[in-house]
Every structure is written in C-alpha cells, then in structure tokens.
Structure 1
C-alpha cells in the first residue's frame, strides 16, 4: 500500500512539473517574440509589459523548483525521522563507550603499575628458605596474571576505541544527511517567501499596467468618437458593444494574478471600428515636426498581458524638447480645434480628396487657429510637450501616417 502511495505521489509531482515546464516554455517563447515587436506600442508600456512577463517567468521557475524540493523532502521525510532517532541513540551509545573507555584506561594504568611493582620485587634476592620460596611463587603468579590482564584490557581498550570511531563516523554521516534536508527545508521556506513577495509585486505591476492600458484605450476611443461625430469615420455600434464587453471580461479576470500560474492569453475581439487601411499614393510631404521619435506604430497588436487585440489607427511622435511647434502637413481647412478631457487639445484639418489629418494630445493650440480657417502646408497649429498622436483618414479609410513623410 505504501509503495502504491509513493508511486502515486511521484506520478502527480512529475505531471505537475511537466505542466509548469510547458508554461515556462510558453512564456519564454512569448517573451522572446514580444521583445522583438514591443515597439509597436507605447515604449513605456511595452517595457512594463516585458518586466511583467519576465516576473511571471521567474515565478514559474520558482514554483517548479518548489515542486521538486517538496517532492524530494516528502521522499526523505521517513528517512529523516529514522536518521534523527538513530542519531540520538548513537550519541547515547557514544557517551557510554567513552565512559567505558575511561574506566578501561584507569584499570589498565593501575594494572601496568602493579606489574611494574611486582617485577621490581621479583628482581630482589630471596633467601632459600621455604617461606621465601612460597612468597616468590605467589608474586610470580601475580605478575603472570597482571600481564595477562594487561593484554586483555589492552584488547578491550582497542575494540572500544574502534567502536567509538565507527559510531563517530556514523554520527557524522547522519549529521550531514540531516543538515542537507534541513538546508533544503530552509531553502524551500525562503523560495516560498520570495514567491509570495514576487506575486505581490506582480499584482501591483499588473494593476499599474492596467491603468496605463485603459488610459491608452480611452484616448483611442475618445478620438474615434470625435471623428465619428464629424462624419470622418463610421463606428459599428454592435461591434463596439461586443468589444467593450470583451475588454471588461479581460480586465476583470484574476487568472493572471491569483492563479499563481501563467495566464492563458485569449484572443479578444479586434477594434470595434471596421478598420480599412488604404495605401497612400500621393507625394511625400513634411512631418508634423522634426526631429522626432516614433514611440507607437500604426497597425494591429495583441496586448501581451491581457490578450486584448488593439488596432493603432494613429502613430505617436515624441519631440526632443518640450513645447515643440506642430505644423500641418498639407494645405487645408480647420474643421475642429478644441480642448478635450481625455486627449488634451485636438486639431483636425480637412484636405483635398477627402483626406483628413488629426493632431491630438497637443499641449496648446495656436491662438489664431479657429474652425473654418484655411491654412498652408507648414503652418503652426500648436505645440506639443509629451507625444503627438497623429492620425490620417481618407473617406472612412485609414492611412499609415508615416507613409506621408517617410
């Protein structure tokens, strides 16, 4: 029965280790893939996501090590108890042997001294009287017995010393084995404590990341609503409702944090707008400002933490200094210029052939920029301190903004 139980435990642990190995491999693969492509979204968020994935990977490896330690300790638990009991008995035996050794040593010293004394006496000259001859024989017999006792005591002392050495060796072996198991128990407790702290840190990191992602999505939704209100794009309300429900499920899911295992990333719905990308075929123009760094690219990506599929209709351009002037990239007419709660200041310019350029997240709008005003290419429409959200549409189609000037 005990053998069946041990086999069942081993099978369970091996199966659990296999599952953890699979999750570690999956997350490693996902992390490697994501590391190559994370610049497709906001760089700060991307770095946070990368750190979260690395934290999950570390936690999974910790859990694998914990499984192995628990298995090893469970297998050695019986031997640990036996060894501890045996060690106690051996130490008692060792003390008893040491006491015997001290007694044998004292008796041996006394007998040797007696033998020496008898030898000295027998070397003296005796008269040939009958009494002296009897005394001589008695002393000689005593000396013979003393020598025999010395040999016997010496043998016992040697055997006792050998037994002490053997017991010492066994004690040392047991102490090492017990110390190894105690060390592994301490290691297991340390890893469990670290695991608890790492999970807490992961929960905090994921909560912060969630807020950032929701902020990005809120900005995106706000811009879509503004463009739809101006009849620049169309929104499919059914798809919008479906996506909002899918996002709510993803954000309310606790699997990533509380399960202590790696998340099963689900493919959630794409952006609620029926995204249609059109290739830009016009002449190259200027960028809204220069120099710039593209911190968010155009296109689809799946968020690595929540698995939400997002389409970036815009790009984000970061200036190298605050209050950088933002210029319109074509001749056109201002159809919208206002401050919003989510996207700060927005300017939308209408151009020929149904083309619109959208400049959002402006720190300020130029004082002379008003709705209905016609402006020339290169005209300053405002300033940006953080990142400019730049979007281009043409008759409900989206155009990759970088194609206009790169």
Structure 2
C-alpha cells in the first residue's frame, strides 16, 4: 500500500561537503536528535529513510575529513619515509659490521686476558738469582705489562664498539617505529577508503529509496490537485505549476544533499514557484473525525524537504487507523459529488456540504457499495474503508482549511 510523507520540518538538514566539517557535523547531530523526537508528526518510513541518509552523510563527512588529513600526513612524510628506509638499511649493514668487529675484539681480549693470567702465575714462582734467570724474569714482566696494556686497549675498544652497537640499535628502533606508523596509516587509509566506498553505496541506495518515496508523494499530491481542479473545487495556476515541477525535477536530479542550517551558507530552496494554497480559518462547529481511532501521521502546512530542499505545501492530513480495514465516515451531512478509483490515489470520495465546504477522503481501500455520485448522506455515514492511511482534505470556496480544526 502506498505510504504518505510529511513534514520533516524540524530537521533543517545536513551539510554540504568540505568546509567547516566539524561545525556541520556538530550542528547536524543536534538536528538529528531533535528530528528523532518528532516521528509522531511525520510519515515514519520517509522520516527513518531521511534520518538514515543524514546520519550516513555525517559519517561520510567524518571519513572524508580523516582521509584528507591522513593523505596530507602521508604526503608530508613521504620523503622522510624514503630517507628512513635508506637509513635503516645502512644502519643494519653497520650493525652487521660492528658485530663482526665485536666478535673479533672479544676473541682477542679473551686471548690476552688468558695470556696475562698465565704470565702472572709464572711470575709468582721462585726464580734463581743467576743472570739468565733475572733476564727471563724481566722479559716475563715486560710481556705481562704489554698484555695488560693490550687488554686495557681491547677492553676500551670493546666497550666503545658496544656503545656504537647500542646507539645504532636505538636509532634503528626509532626508524622502525616511524616506518611502522606510516605503514599502519597506509593500511588504515586503504581500509577507510574501502569503508568510504561502501558508505557511499549505502547512501546512494538510501537516497534512491527516499527519492522514489518523495516522487510518489509529489505524484499523489498533484493527482489530488488535478482531481479537485477538474471539479472546480480549487483553482491551480498552471503556469506556476509547470515552473514548480521544472524546479522540483532539477532538485531531484542533483546529487548533493540540500543544506538549510542557520549556521551555514544558505543553499537555494527549490520552491520559488511553489504554490502555497490559500488557507482560511474554520469557523463552524466541531464535528466527528472520519475515523474512530487513529494516529495523525502527516500534518497540514508547509515544509522544506530536508534531502532535496523541495518546498512542499500539504493541503491534507493523513490518519492511520488503529484497527485494520477501518470504516471511514463522512464528517458532515452532504452530497457525494465524486466516488471513483484512481491510478495514483486508489479510491477517492468527495462530499459537498453547505457554505461551499468540501471534504475529500482519498487512499480508500474500498468505497462502500451504496456510495454513488449524487447520493445524499448524513454525518457519520460509512463511505468506505481504509487499510493503510486515510488522506483527509477540506476546502471551502477554493481555499483550504486545516482539516484537524474540524474535530480538534
């Protein structure tokens, strides 16, 4: 069954793309919170779709901001990344050389230390006091001194080499960390770009669904206007109507989401030619509602669509029955002047009352068998049934009346 729209008024919609993204996201979040509280005043299906579109657009704006910053950072670090890779390769080569040198120094140091220990043990033994023994003693002492000196030099070189290795390890670790950070961000960039593609696809699907609903809504609205115009119940400026349809077609063809936010630059509303029907105040007595138990799903009045910026005037209200296949009753005594099935609005019944008043009952699933053009009916008489939502409209002498004023 056809679903009806309505006033997505309190949203003031979302954001245009690149500039002041943070402000736009914050502003949109506030609007969405307000918007979520007003589902009872609008068509729920369109409301949920619009909310999903705006939330998706918000998420895309965040992603676009992150992607832009990430790309700029990676571009700025591209040169240093390349240098770091070269330096790291050089450091690793130096580390290999230093480790080889360290191993060699270690072997030499072990040998010299062992030699020194051996000489010390020999020198602790008793030597004869003859000339040969004294010469041998001096030679051994000289060798020990030389070994100790060499051991000291080797120890210093070993320590210095160890410090060089430690420095290179630290430097290499820093470079590796820097390189890993950039590599991780590159991976994240690819993941975010993929998520961005999916989000864009999801957004397009949501927009297509919403667009179809909005086009159906506008089609139904025009069909009802044409019916009432042919019956001379209302007057329609055909020139203005053609211009309005042209502007709406242009709006629906645009890819960008409409923006209307007090904190942001204004975007043109596509409604400079739109026809706001003249509304007059209802001065008669209160009467019954066309349904016994119902929920109002669409209110009377003007609003700007939050997704495409199309300005729309709702001449009717929509009432959702609380029971299935509910009876629809006429709200005053009157005469049926139209009762027929239409291609767009299903079944329509129009009743003429005194003082130039007309009540219109559209989207009926069934017209009562005895309801025919020319039949006079009393207030409360069943004119048909409705499964989905009743479109209820009231006019008086070519002007519109807010239907809710008749019974509330």
Confirm or deny a common fold (TM above 0.5): yes
The structural deviation recorded for 1:74 is 2.0
1:220 corresponding residue in structure 2: 221
The structural deviation recorded for 1:317 is 0.4
Q: What's the secondary structure of 2:77's corresponding residue?
A: helix
Q: What's the secondary structure of 1:269's corresponding residue?
A: coil
Contact residue 21 and residue 65 of structure 2 kept, 8 A: yes
Cα distance in 2, alignment partners of residues 133 and 144 from structure 1: 16
Contact residue 304 and residue 311 of structure 2 kept, 8 A: yes
1:80 corresponding residue in structure 2: 81
Cα distance in 2, alignment partners of residues 142 and 232 from structure 1: 128
1:93 corresponding residue in structure 2: 94
Are residues 216 and 126 of structure 1, via their aligned partners in 2, closer, same or farther at CA, if it must alter by over 3 Å?
same
Are residues 271 and 325 of structure 1, via their aligned partners in 2, closer, same or farther at CA, if it must alter by over 3 Å?
farther
Q: How many residues align?
A: 387
Contact residue 267 and residue 308 of structure 1 kept, 8 A: yes
The structural deviation recorded for 1:33 is 6.6
Cα distance in 2, alignment partners of residues 198 and 287 from structure 1: 44
Cα distance in 2, alignment partners of residues 242 and 31 from structure 1: 32
Say yes or no: does 1:378 pair with 2:380. Answer: yes
Residue 311 of structure 2 is aligned with which of 309, 312, 322? Answer: 309
1:267 corresponding residue in structure 2: 269
TM-score (norm 2): 0.89
TM-score (norm 1): 0.89
The structural deviation recorded for 1:210 is 0.6
1:170 corresponding residue in structure 2: 171
Are residues 232 and 18 of structure 1, via their aligned partners in 2, closer, same or farther at CA, if it must alter by over 3 Å?
closer
Are residues 213 and 265 of structure 1, via their aligned partners in 2, closer, same or farther at CA, if it must alter by over 3 Å?
farther
Aligned pairs for 1:154-193 (under 5 A) are 154-193=155-194
The structural deviation recorded for 1:368 is 1.3
Residue 329 of structure 2 is aligned with which of 327, 330, 345? Answer: 327
The structural deviation recorded for 1:274 is 5.5
Say yes or no: does 1:295 pair with 2:297. Answer: yes
1:209 corresponding residue in structure 2: 210
* Gaps in structure 2 of 5+ consecutive residues: 1-16, 259-263
Aligned pairs for 1:3-402 (under 5 A) are 18-21=19-22, 24=25, 27=28, 31=32, 41-256=42-257, 265-269=267-271, 273=275, 275-402=277-404
* Gaps in structure 1 of 5+ consecutive residues: 1-15
| Richer in helix (by share) | 1
The structural deviation recorded for 1:354 is 0.8
Moved more, 384-393 or 63-72: 63-72
The structural deviation recorded for 1:67 is 1.7
Per-residue deviation, residues 29-70 of structure 1 (Å, max 9, x unmatched): 765675566765422112211221121122112111222222
1:8 corresponding residue in structure 2: none
Cα distance in 1, alignment partners of residues 401 and 381 from structure 2: 22
Cα distance in 1, alignment partners of residues 198 and 267 from structure 2: 24
Contact residue 265 and residue 306 of structure 1 kept, 8 A: no
Cα distance in 2, alignment partners of residues 249 and 166 from structure 1: 67
The structural deviation recorded for 1:159 is 1.1
Per-residue deviation, residues 273-318 of structure 1 (Å, max 9, x unmatched): 5611011111111111132111110000111111111100000001
Cα distance in 1, alignment partners of residues 360 and 165 from structure 2: 91
Cα distance in 2, alignment partners of residues 30 and 249 from structure 1: 26
Per-residue deviation, residues 139-162 of structure 1 (Å, max 9, x unmatched): 221111111111111111111111
Are residues 263 and 30 of structure 1, via their aligned partners in 2, closer, same or farther at CA, if it must alter by over 3 Å?
farther
Contact residue 274 and residue 311 of structure 2 kept, 8 A: no
The structural deviation recorded for 1:235 is 1.3
CA RMSD for the aligned pairs? 2.3
Cα distance in 2, alignment partners of residues 76 and 269 from structure 1: 49
1:13 corresponding residue in structure 2: none
Contact residue 350 and residue 360 of structure 2 kept, 8 A: yes
Per-residue deviation, residues 316-371 of structure 1 (Å, max 9, x unmatched): 00112210111111111111111111111111111111111111111111111111
Cα distance in 1, alignment partners of residues 291 and 268 from structure 2: 39
Q: What's the secondary structure of 1:288's corresponding residue?
A: coil
Structure with larger RCO (C-alpha < 8 A, sep 6+): 2
